[in-house]
């Protein structure tokens, strides 16, 4: 079977700063992988590179059996790759002035003529799927609400519902819980974990919270200075390894409070 995600020798330099140094990475379909590491270690650059939102200087990224980028060029297959990719950011995931339902329905824009979506004419079967997706993320009651009136956690779950409607089989989540209170953060992580287990979605999530990575992901990859310095089970993240990743004051970085209740 093709790997869900394959990264070979990916490097990226911003000015004089090496954000990624010859990163090699394979992720199998159905894995849930956390990317951890201190600020500036390259987590976002790597995650964005997976979706082709960042172009490396050298190296390749492949998703399924399609190229995302190769040696500094985005592939011509990127549009079809993106149809299978749901991307969740820390903020700004939804269009605030539109209803949550319309935001979720935007997930089907790749399947229907653009003018229909632009004018709000979504097919009935897509509306039914959107209702089901909102139910799946626990937001059935909120479909008519303007997105801007929802809490941060609800907006994140709305963005996940949009990815479900899109039919994404891979979710890339860049610090999705960084702006959330502990309870909302836990809900979002539980949802990602549930979709991973129950629907087989491949999930790659960058996190500042080590304990969220350890609690919800079976595989943790740690970055430091643009290189992968740990790749394995959470149980292998000893205090020494964490100190090596985050430096002597790592306890200050390892925020707590998103473990299951
Ligand atoms: N667009 C950019 N222009 C210039 N430098 C950048 C850019 N994006 C990232 N960098 C630099 O590349 C390095 C890696 O940044 P990146 O955002 O990937 O780290 P990160 O681990 O995600 O950090 P954080 O946890 O703070 O988001 C940093 O030194 C950062 O300043």
Domain boundary among 168, 200, 223: 168
CATH number at 15 reads: 3.40.50.300
Element (H, E) at 98: none
Residue 173 counted as domain residue:
no
pTM for the whole structure? 0.91
Question: Is the same domain home to 73 and 195?
Answer: yes
Question: Is the same domain home to 35 and 103?
Answer: no
The answer to whether ipTM exceeds 0.90 is yes
pLDDT at 53: 93
Q: With bands split at pLDDT 50, 70 and 90, how would you rate the model's confidence at 256?
A: very low
Measured distance CA(103)–CA(124) in Å, rounded: 16
pLDDT surpasses 70 at 116 = no
- What total of structural domains would you count in the chain? 2
Over residues 43-90, the pLDDT tens digits come to 999 999 999 999 999 999 999 989 999 999 999 999 889 989 999 988
| DSSP-derived 3-state class of residue 41 | coil
Over residues 174-192, the pLDDT tens digits come to 999 999 999 999 999 999 9
Given ligand 1 and candidates 10, 17, 35, 245, which is best to mutate, with the most ligand atoms within 8 Å of its CB?
17
For residue 236, which of 217, 254, 260, 261 has the smallest C-alpha distance? 217
Residue 259 counted as domain residue:
no
| Cα angle: 153, vertex 219, 207; to 5 degrees | 35
Q: Tell me how crowded residue 84 is: count the other CB atoms within 10 A of its CB.
A: 17
Residue 125 counted as domain residue:
yes
Over residues 86-108, the pLDDT tens digits come to 999 888 789 999 999 999 999 88
Residue 175 counted as domain residue:
no
- Cβ 58 vs Cβ 10: under 8 Å: yes
Question: Is the same domain home to 114 and 164?
Answer: yes
Residue nearest to atom 7 of ligand 1 (CA): 14
For the Cβ of 16 lying below 6 angstroms from any atom of ligand 1, the answer is no
For the Cβ of 17 lying below 6 angstroms from any atom of ligand 1, the answer is yes
For the Cβ of 43 lying below 6 angstroms from any atom of ligand 1, the answer is yes
Token pair for residue 253? Answer: 């970085």
Question: Is the same domain home to 199 and 72?
Answer: yes
Q: Which domain holds residue 133?
A: 85-168
3-class SS shares of the chain: helix, strand, coil, % to 5: 40, 25, 35
Residue 182 counted as domain residue:
no
Question: Is the same domain home to 156 and 91?
Answer: yes
pLDDT surpasses 70 at 252 = no
Measured distance CA(102)–CA(144) in Å, rounded: 8
């Amino acid at each position: 079977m093709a790997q869900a995600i394959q990264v070979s020798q990916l490097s990226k330099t911003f000015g004089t700063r090496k954000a990624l140094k010859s990163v090699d990475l394979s992720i199998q379909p159905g894995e849930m992988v956390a990317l951890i590491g201190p600020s500036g270690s390259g987590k976002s650059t790597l995650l964005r590179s997976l979706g082709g939102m960042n172009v490396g200087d050298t190296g390749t990224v492949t998703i399924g059996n399609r190229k995302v980028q190769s040696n500094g060029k985005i592939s011509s297959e990127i549009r079809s790759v993106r149809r299978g990719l749901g991307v969740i950011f820390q903020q700004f995931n939804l269009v605030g002035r539109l209803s949550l339902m319309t935001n979720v329905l935007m997930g089907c824009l790749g399947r229907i003529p653009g003018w229909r979506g632009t004018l709000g004419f979504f097919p009935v079967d897509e509306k039914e799927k959107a209702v089901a997706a909102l139910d799946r993320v626990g937001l059935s009651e909120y479909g008519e609400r303007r997105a801007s009136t929802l809490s941060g956690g609800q907006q994140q779950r709305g963005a996940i519902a949009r990815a479900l409607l899109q039919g994404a089989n891979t979710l890339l989540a860049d610090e999705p819980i960084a702006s959330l209170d502990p309870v909302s953060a836990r809900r979002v992580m539980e949802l990602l974990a549930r979709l991973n287990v129950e629907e087989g979605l491949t999930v790659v999530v960058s996190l500042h919270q080590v304990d969220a990575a350890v609690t919800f992901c079976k595989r943790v990859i740690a970055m430091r200075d643009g290189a992968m310095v740990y790749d394995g089970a959470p149980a292998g993240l000893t205090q020494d390894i964490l100190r090596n990743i985050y430096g002597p004051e790592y306890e200050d970085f390892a925020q707590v409070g998103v473990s299951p209740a």
